[in-house]
Amino acid sequence: MNIITISREFGSGGREIGKRLADLLGYDYYDRQIIQEIAQNKGLSEEFVEKSLDASPWQTLNLNYRSSFYGVSLMPTMSTELLLEERNVLEEIAKKGRDCVIVGRNADIVLEDYHPFSIFVCAERDAKLKRCRERASEEEELSDKEMISYFKRIDRNRAATRELISDSKWGDPTSYTLTVNTTGWDLKELTPALAAFAKAWFEKTE
Amino acid sequence: MNIITISREFGSGGREIGKRLADLLGYDYYDRQIIQEIAQNKGLSEEFVEKSLDASPWQTLNLNYRSSFYGVSLMPTMSTELLLEERNVLEEIAKKGRDCVIVGRNADIVLEDYHPFSIFVCAERDAKLKRCRERASEEEELSDKEMISYFKRIDRNRAATRELISDSKWGDPTSYTLTVNTTGWDLKELTPALAAFAKAWFEKTE
């Protein structure tokens, strides 16, 4: 069984690469579905699960601390229980024994025993801004400065969540098999090159 | 004309990858030859040129400062003149119009107008130690701690030299097209995957 995992900077096109890789290789594809399964297993809303898992663990500490002064906070906080359920859902996916692409959720850490081909996707700041502007979304109304600050916050939270479960540093190229900079690439043209690289990884003898 | 540039952490196998890529693709190969040409053009020894270009620019400042107190230092110091000659030699290589692989010397920065496929090669610490132990060299007598300190000094100097000529940060994945972690790879098996990636870069339409 071959597992490809994708970690990414916000706005770098990592999710689209994941979907395209799965389509090209005929692999199963997981991304949003993981949140849906955690929500279902725990009887919680998807939105709550997603916000909890993507909250900053450090922000959480502050919120909990503040809540003892200002009353109970209704803001979602990073939940160890949800992190453990996330691990269960990822392990269930691997146990199916089917080739797959998994976007996000630190799947490369949780499933490291399966020797996944782990990709980190990044891009230059202006390329990320351009990609986000092209998407039709509410973020369109943000200024460049606000968007950059939004990127950074999301990426900081991703890095902090990885630190909770691993010594492997988010975004450090020695934490992944391959790190690709999507700046200047058409993702359609990039995907076959990544697929060939993944195949070489799965076929290697060492 | 296609140019592939290789930057690398010391001990990651970057030079071997460069040589293998050139052999596989039938490209010209440059690494040591650049130092030889600078030495020849300036009437200096290769050893002096190499040491000067690889010296820490910051160490240099200290040495120069000290030399005014303690007499003229005979230690090689980072030389702007040699950096400029290095640029000339790289530009002459590009002007030949032949496909080539260039290892080191920040060729991706100097030749950025030629849109090189720029690779950064890294590896986990233990993999770098293992690779260096396997080489027959005087470094073999160093302890692990001494070798790690040696790696770090060389890489720090490489990073500082890049900073002298560019805003592009050494080792930051957004500074290169692709960053590959050689940990767990046989370089013979890695090379065709990198060659395919480079071809996709040179053929891309964007």
User: What's the CATH code, domain A3-203?
Assistant: 3.40.50.300
Percent of chain A residues topping a pLDDT of 70: 85
Cβ A90 vs Cβ A34: under 8 Å = yes
Which residue pairs, CB below 8 angstroms and at least 24 apart, start in A83-90? Answer: A83/A53, A83/A161, A83/A164, A83/A165, A85/A38, A85/A41, A85/A42, A86/A34, A86/A38, A86/A53, A86/A110, A88/A41, A89/A34, A89/A37, A89/A38, A89/A41, A90/A34
- A124 → closest Cβ in B174, B193, B196: B174
Whether the CB-CB separation of A94 and A111 falls below 8 Å is answered with yes
| pLDDT tens, residue by residue, A101-149 | 999 999 999 999 999 999 999 999 999 999 888 875 665 678 888 888 8
How far is A3 from A114, CA to CA, in rounded Å?
Answer: 7
> Which stretch of A8-12, B5-9, B48-52, B106-110 has the lowest confidence by average pLDDT?
B48-52
Q: How far is A159 from chain B (nearest CA, A)?
A: 16
Of residues A18 and A133, which shows the higher confidence score?
A18
Asked if the model's pLDDT at residue B3 lies above 80, the reply is yes
Residues of B in contact with A206 (CB under 8 A): 184-186, 189
- pTM recorded for the entire structure: 0.88
A67 contact B CB<8A: no
- Chain A residues in contact with B184 by the CB 8 A cut-off are 177, 204, 206
CA of A185 to nearest chain B CA: how many angstroms apart? 6
Let me know: does B176 contact A196? Beta carbons within 8 Å.
Answer: no
Domain range summary for chain B, segments of one domain joined by +: 3-193
Residue pLDDT, tens place only, B68-115:
444 444 445 567 888 999 999 999 999 999 999 999 999 999 999 999
- Shortest distance, CA B181 to any CA of chain A (angstroms): 5
What pLDDT, on a 0 to 100 scale, did the predictor assign at position B115?
95
Residue B8 φ/ψ region, left for φ over 0, alpha for ψ in the -120 to 50 degree band, beta for the rest: beta
Q: Domain B3-193: which topology?
A: Rossmann fold (3.40.50)
User: Which residue reads 């190969």 in tokens?
Assistant: B29
> B127 to chain A, minimum CA–CA distance in Å?
11
Q: Are A123 and A134 in contact (CB under 8 A)?
A: no
- Closest residue to A186, CB basis, from B176, B179, B204: B204
Using DSSP's 3-state secondary structure scheme, residue B23 falls into helix
Read off the pLDDT of each residue in B4-14 and give the average, rounded to a whole number. Answer: 96
CB nearest A200 (choices: B174, B184, B192): B192
Minimum mean pLDDT among A78-87, A103-112, B193-202: which range? A78-87
- At A58, is the pLDDT very low, low, confident or very high (cuts 50, 70, 90)? low
Residues of A in contact with B179 (CB under 8 A): 173, 178-181
